[in-house]
Amino acid sequence: GENVEQHPSTLSVQEGDSAVIKCTYSDSASNYFPWYKQELGKGPQLIIDIRSNVGEKKDQRIAVTLNKTAKHFSLHITETQPEDSAVYFCAASIGGSARQLTFGSGTQLTVLP
Amino acid sequence: KAGVTQTPRYLIKTRGQQVTLSCSPISGHRSVSWYQQTPGQGLQFLFEYFSETQRNKGNFPGRFSGRQFSNSRSEMNVSTLELGDSALYLCASSLALAGANEQFFGPGTRLTVL
């Protein structure tokens, strides 16, 4: 089955700096890659996603890049703010009728004021 | 539009008991998936229901089961609880249309098994 690896497990940045989180996946059939943000005591919140026919997607301060050949994708957060502090999860799915997500192990992002 | 709701939010049970958790998806969403989140294993897929039928199943024992009703609401049941079943159980709903794979999570049910 699919296996998703995520790095780093913890990341501290100064407010205003950029943060990058990287994930690799094993199943070349995967074609949908969402990113979730989870704050303490809450469920994961979908923040951005990308499909395999797209190499990059941007939404304000957040961007995701995908390299299908190398089977890796990354989350980029620019101009970080203290409210960006949370655990971030990457995930992969084959899509279609197989909607189950395989998650990475998570990255605890801390933005220092 | 209301988000995914899960009840109860917290639950304490003892070993050997059984438990039923409930999930109401976003209005119009037809697919409900369940995930288990623990510090050791992370987020793991349990099963997915679509049109009252289980469509996909993760690698969990038969003690974990679920169902979906005609209004898309879903329940999951865990029988003969074990200490290791202590976890946050998350429900996610999806429109489940072609090209619309986005899954939206509820706040979860925190289950503690003593």
B91-105 tens-digit pLDDT: 999 987 766 679 999
Q: How many CA within 13 A on the CB side of residue A69?
A: 1
Q: What pLDDT band is residue B8 in, cutting at 50, 70 and 90?
A: very high
b (16+ CB within 10 A) / e for B92-110: bbbbbeeeebbbbbbbbbb
Most B CBs within 10 A among A9, A33, A93, A100, hence the mutation to make, goes to: A100
At residue B42, the pLDDT reads 95
Q: Tokens standing for A33?
A: 């890659």
Q: Tokens standing for B97?
A: 């249309």
Beta-strand pair B10-13/B19-24: unpaired
Q: Indicate yes or no: CB of A101 within 8 angstroms of CB of B105.
A: no
At residue B91, the pLDDT reads 98
Q: Indicate yes or no: CB of B45 within 8 angstroms of CB of A106.
A: no
Chain A residues 1-60 with a CB less than 8 Å from chain B: 32, 34, 36, 41-46, 49
- Number of other CB atoms surrounding residue B48 within 10 Å: 28
In B, minimum Cα distance to A51 occurs at: B99
User: Which tops the pLDDT comparison, A90 or A1?
Assistant: A90
Q: Chain-wide mean pLDDT for chain B?
A: 95
Between CA B22 and CA B93 the distance in angstroms is: 13
Query: What number of residues does chain B have?
Result: 114
A105–chain B Cβ distance below 8 A for any pair: yes
Q: Is residue A61 within 8 Å of residue A78, measured between CB atoms? A: yes
At residue A99, the pLDDT reads 82
At residue B114, the pLDDT reads 97
**Mean local confidence (pLDDT), B67-82:** 97
Q: What pLDDT band is residue A50 in, cutting at 50, 70 and 90?
A: very high
**Mean local confidence (pLDDT), B80-109:** 91
For the stretch B9-51, pLDDT in tens is 999 999 999 999 999 999 999 999 999 999 999 999 999 999 9
Between CA A8 and CA B41 the distance in angstroms is: 17
At residue B2, the pLDDT reads 84
**Mean local confidence (pLDDT), A72-90:** 98
Q: Is residue A92 within 8 Å of residue A32, measured between CB atoms? A: yes
In the three-class reduction of DSSP (H, G, I as helix; E, B as strand; rest coil), residue A63 is classed as strand
Q: What pLDDT band is residue A52 in, cutting at 50, 70 and 90?
A: confident
DSSP B2-65: ---EEE-SEEEE-TT--EEEEEEPPTT--EEEEEEEETTTEEEEEEEEETTEEEEE-S--TTEE
Q: Tokens standing for B13?
A: 């049970």
At residue B100, the pLDDT reads 65
Collect all residues with Cβ–Cβ distance below 8 Å to B97 and sequence separation of at least 6. none
Closest chain A C-alpha to B71 CA, distance in angstroms: 20
User: What is the amino acid identity at position A72?
Assistant: H
Of the candidates B48, B58, B106, which has its C-beta nearest A99's C-beta?
B48
At residue A58, the pLDDT reads 97
